[in-house]
Chains A and B, each alone.
Chain A
Protein backbone atom coordinates (compact mmCIF):
# COMPACT_ATOMS: atom_id res chain seq x y z
CA UNK A 1 0.00 0.00 0.00
CA UNK A 2 1.75 3.11 -1.26
CA UNK A 3 1.71 6.00 1.15
CA UNK A 4 2.19 9.64 0.27
CA UNK A 5 4.95 10.12 -2.30
CA UNK A 6 6.82 13.41 -2.66
CA UNK A 7 9.41 14.46 -5.21
CA UNK A 8 12.13 15.48 -5.32
CA UNK A 9 13.54 14.52 -1.94
CA UNK A 10 16.13 17.29 -1.94
CA UNK A 11 16.48 20.48 -3.94
CA UNK A 12 18.88 23.40 -4.00
CA UNK A 13 17.75 26.68 -5.58
CA UNK A 14 19.12 30.17 -5.88
CA UNK A 15 17.40 33.17 -4.33
CA UNK A 16 14.86 34.65 -6.75
CA UNK A 17 14.25 31.41 -8.63
CA UNK A 18 11.01 29.46 -8.78
CA UNK A 19 10.45 25.89 -7.60
CA UNK A 20 7.78 23.21 -8.07
CA UNK A 21 7.32 20.37 -5.61
CA UNK A 22 5.11 17.34 -6.31
CA UNK A 23 2.93 15.07 -4.21
CA UNK A 24 0.98 11.89 -4.89
CA UNK A 25 -1.55 11.14 -2.16
CA UNK A 26 -2.12 7.82 -0.45
CA UNK A 27 -4.38 5.47 -2.38
CA UNK A 28 -8.01 6.26 -1.57
CA UNK A 29 -7.27 9.80 -0.40
CA UNK A 30 -8.63 12.78 -2.31
CA UNK A 31 -7.45 15.78 -0.28
CA UNK A 32 -3.93 17.19 -0.19
CA UNK A 33 -2.54 19.68 2.30
CA UNK A 34 0.90 21.28 2.24
CA UNK A 35 2.98 22.22 5.26
CA UNK A 36 6.31 24.01 5.72
CA UNK A 37 8.60 22.76 8.49
CA UNK A 38 11.55 24.99 9.35
CA UNK A 39 14.48 23.40 11.13
CA UNK A 40 13.64 22.69 14.76
CA UNK A 41 10.03 23.83 14.38
CA UNK A 42 6.63 22.22 13.96
CA UNK A 43 5.00 22.10 10.54
CA UNK A 44 3.02 25.18 9.47
CA UNK A 45 -0.08 24.91 7.31
CA UNK A 46 0.29 26.43 3.83
CA UNK A 47 -2.93 25.39 2.05
CA UNK A 48 -5.30 22.54 1.30
CA UNK A 49 -6.67 21.26 -2.01
CA UNK A 50 -9.87 19.31 -2.54
CA UNK A 51 -11.75 18.74 -5.80
CA UNK A 52 -8.99 20.65 -7.61
CA UNK A 53 -9.67 23.85 -5.65
CA UNK A 54 -7.78 25.60 -2.87
CA UNK A 55 -10.09 25.27 0.11
CA UNK A 56 -8.13 26.72 3.00
CA UNK A 57 -4.97 28.78 3.23
CA UNK A 58 -2.60 29.53 6.07
CA UNK A 59 -0.60 32.69 6.65
CA UNK A 60 1.64 32.44 3.59
CA UNK A 61 2.18 35.06 0.85
CA UNK A 62 0.89 34.74 -2.69
CA UNK A 63 4.36 33.59 -3.79
CA UNK A 64 3.13 30.20 -2.60
CA UNK A 65 0.61 28.67 -4.99
CA UNK A 66 -0.60 25.22 -5.78
CA UNK A 67 -2.59 22.97 -7.99
CA UNK A 68 -4.46 19.70 -7.72
CA UNK A 69 -4.93 17.41 -10.68
CA UNK A 70 -7.90 15.13 -11.50
CA UNK A 71 -5.94 12.13 -10.18
CA UNK A 72 -5.69 13.98 -6.80
CA UNK A 73 -1.94 14.58 -7.08
CA UNK A 74 -0.77 18.07 -6.27
CA UNK A 75 1.98 20.60 -6.89
CA UNK A 76 3.32 23.36 -4.69
CA UNK A 77 4.92 26.29 -6.47
CA UNK A 78 7.03 28.95 -4.80
CA UNK A 79 8.07 32.03 -6.78
CA UNK A 80 10.81 34.56 -6.07
CA UNK A 81 12.52 32.31 -3.55
CA UNK A 82 13.91 33.86 -0.38
CA UNK A 83 16.58 32.44 1.90
CA UNK A 84 13.85 32.06 4.53
CA UNK A 85 11.98 29.63 2.31
CA UNK A 86 14.59 27.00 3.11
CA UNK A 87 12.66 24.26 4.90
CA UNK A 88 11.20 20.77 4.70
CA UNK A 89 7.98 20.88 2.70
CA UNK A 90 5.51 18.21 3.72
CA UNK A 91 2.50 16.95 1.84
CA UNK A 92 -0.34 15.33 3.77
CA UNK A 93 -3.28 13.48 2.28
CA UNK A 94 -6.65 12.64 3.77
CA UNK A 95 -10.21 11.80 2.81
CA UNK A 96 -12.61 14.68 2.28
CA UNK A 97 -12.43 17.89 4.26
CA UNK A 98 -12.67 16.40 7.74
CA UNK A 99 -8.92 16.62 8.24
CA UNK A 100 -8.85 13.54 10.45
CA UNK A 101 -6.16 10.95 9.93
CA UNK A 102 -3.66 12.88 7.83
CA UNK A 103 -0.94 10.74 6.26
CA UNK A 104 2.26 12.71 5.72
CA UNK A 105 4.93 12.12 3.11
CA UNK A 106 8.63 12.23 3.94
CA UNK A 107 8.92 15.71 2.51
CA UNK A 108 11.09 17.69 0.14
CA UNK A 109 14.09 19.41 1.67
CA UNK A 110 14.46 22.79 -0.08
CA UNK A 111 17.62 24.79 0.39
CA UNK A 112 17.75 28.35 -1.00
CA UNK A 113 21.24 29.78 -1.43
Chain B
Protein backbone atom coordinates (compact mmCIF):
# COMPACT_ATOMS: atom_id res chain seq x y z
CA UNK B 1 0.00 0.00 0.00
CA UNK B 2 1.62 3.18 -1.20
CA UNK B 3 0.81 6.02 1.15
CA UNK B 4 2.80 8.70 -0.66
CA UNK B 5 2.36 9.09 -4.42
CA UNK B 6 5.03 11.05 -6.28
CA UNK B 7 5.00 12.47 -9.79
CA UNK B 8 6.42 12.75 -12.34
CA UNK B 9 8.66 9.70 -12.44
CA UNK B 10 11.20 11.61 -14.55
CA UNK B 11 11.67 15.24 -15.54
CA UNK B 12 13.96 17.11 -17.93
CA UNK B 13 14.34 20.89 -17.53
CA UNK B 14 16.60 23.44 -19.13
CA UNK B 15 19.14 25.24 -16.97
CA UNK B 16 17.49 28.16 -15.18
CA UNK B 17 14.03 26.59 -15.37
CA UNK B 18 11.87 25.69 -12.38
CA UNK B 19 11.28 21.95 -12.02
CA UNK B 20 8.22 21.09 -9.92
CA UNK B 21 7.77 17.70 -8.26
CA UNK B 22 4.45 16.78 -6.69
CA UNK B 23 3.45 14.42 -3.93
CA UNK B 24 0.12 13.35 -2.49
CA UNK B 25 -0.44 11.52 0.77
CA UNK B 26 -3.30 9.54 2.24
CA UNK B 27 -2.70 9.40 5.97
CA UNK B 28 -4.00 12.60 7.58
CA UNK B 29 -1.98 11.78 10.71
CA UNK B 30 1.28 12.54 8.90
CA UNK B 31 2.84 15.65 10.38
CA UNK B 32 6.32 15.90 8.89
CA UNK B 33 7.08 16.16 5.17
CA UNK B 34 10.76 16.15 4.12
CA UNK B 35 12.33 16.12 0.67
CA UNK B 36 15.51 14.19 -0.01
CA UNK B 37 18.06 14.41 -2.83
CA UNK B 38 19.98 11.33 -3.87
CA UNK B 39 22.96 11.14 -6.22
CA UNK B 40 24.06 7.82 -7.76
CA UNK B 41 26.01 5.72 -5.29
CA UNK B 42 25.04 7.92 -2.35
CA UNK B 43 22.42 7.85 0.35
CA UNK B 44 19.55 10.35 0.40
CA UNK B 45 20.40 13.79 1.80
CA UNK B 46 17.80 15.98 3.49
CA UNK B 47 17.02 19.09 1.44
CA UNK B 48 14.14 20.78 3.17
CA UNK B 49 11.18 19.78 5.33
CA UNK B 50 7.83 21.24 6.30
CA UNK B 51 5.19 20.75 8.99
CA UNK B 52 1.47 21.01 8.13
CA UNK B 53 0.96 24.23 10.06
CA UNK B 54 2.65 26.28 7.31
CA UNK B 55 1.80 26.52 3.59
CA UNK B 56 5.24 27.34 2.23
CA UNK B 57 8.87 27.09 3.24
CA UNK B 58 11.94 28.36 1.39
CA UNK B 59 15.57 27.39 1.88
CA UNK B 60 17.90 28.85 -0.72
CA UNK B 61 16.70 27.81 -4.17
CA UNK B 62 14.36 25.12 -2.79
CA UNK B 63 10.73 25.80 -1.90
CA UNK B 64 8.08 23.47 -0.50
CA UNK B 65 4.42 24.34 -1.07
CA UNK B 66 1.95 22.52 1.17
CA UNK B 67 -1.82 22.16 0.70
CA UNK B 68 -3.25 20.44 3.77
CA UNK B 69 -6.85 20.28 2.51
CA UNK B 70 -5.78 18.62 -0.73
CA UNK B 71 -3.22 16.43 1.06
CA UNK B 72 -0.59 17.49 -1.43
CA UNK B 73 2.85 19.06 -1.29
CA UNK B 74 5.39 19.99 -3.92
CA UNK B 75 9.05 20.89 -4.36
CA UNK B 76 10.12 23.80 -6.57
CA UNK B 77 13.76 24.35 -7.53
CA UNK B 78 14.48 27.92 -8.56
CA UNK B 79 17.21 28.78 -11.09
CA UNK B 80 17.96 25.08 -11.61
CA UNK B 81 21.55 24.06 -12.40
CA UNK B 82 23.06 20.93 -13.99
CA UNK B 83 24.42 20.05 -10.53
CA UNK B 84 20.80 19.67 -9.34
CA UNK B 85 20.46 16.59 -11.57
CA UNK B 86 19.62 13.80 -9.14
CA UNK B 87 16.75 11.68 -7.88
CA UNK B 88 14.38 13.47 -5.53
CA UNK B 89 12.18 11.76 -2.97
CA UNK B 90 9.32 13.16 -0.98
CA UNK B 91 8.51 11.51 2.31
CA UNK B 92 6.07 11.74 5.18
CA UNK B 93 5.99 10.53 8.75
CA UNK B 94 4.06 10.45 11.96
CA UNK B 95 5.53 12.50 14.79
CA UNK B 96 8.69 13.29 12.81
CA UNK B 97 9.51 9.69 11.99
CA UNK B 98 9.71 8.45 15.54
CA UNK B 99 6.85 6.12 14.83
CA UNK B 100 6.93 3.83 11.78
CA UNK B 101 9.81 5.70 10.19
CA UNK B 102 9.60 7.71 7.00
CA UNK B 103 7.26 6.70 4.15
CA UNK B 104 8.92 7.61 0.86
CA UNK B 105 7.52 8.26 -2.59
CA UNK B 106 8.98 6.32 -5.52
CA UNK B 107 11.24 9.17 -6.58
CA UNK B 108 11.65 11.59 -9.48
CA UNK B 109 14.70 11.37 -11.71
CA UNK B 110 15.52 15.00 -12.56
CA UNK B 111 17.86 16.04 -15.35
CA UNK B 112 18.86 19.69 -15.78
CA UNK B 113 20.20 20.27 -19.27
CA UNK B 114 22.95 22.89 -19.74
Contact = CB atoms under 8 A, between A and B. Distances in A.
Interface of A: 4, 33, 35, 40-45, 48, 55-56, 58, 90, 92, 94, 96-107
B96 interface: yes
Given A41-B107, A90-B44, A35 B97 contact: no
Nearest to A55: B98
A18 B102 CA distance: 26
Contact of B98 (A35, A42, A99, A106): A99
A4 B43 contact: yes
Nearest to A96: B98
Contact of B100 (A35, A45, A104): A45
B107 A40 contact: yes
B46 interface: yes
Interface in B88-114: 89, 91, 93, 95-107
Interface residues of B, number: 28
Given A42-B105, A104-B43, A106-B43, A98 B96 contact: yes
Given A94-B97, A99-B101, A103-B46, 16 more contacts: A4-B43, A35-B102, A42-B89, A42-B105, A45-B103, A55-B98, A56-B99, A96-B98, A99-B102, A100-B97, A101-B46, A102-B46, A102-B97, A104-B36, A106-B41, A107-B43
B48 to A, nearest CB: 12
Contacts of A43: 44, 89, 102, 104
A35 B71 CA distance: 25
A45 B102 contact: yes
Given A41-B107, A42-B89, A58 B43 contact: no
A4 B49 CA distance: 20
A35 B91 CA distance: 13
Contacts of B49: 100
A35 B100 CA distance: 11
A90 B43 contact: yes
B61 interface: no
B38 to A, nearest CB: 8
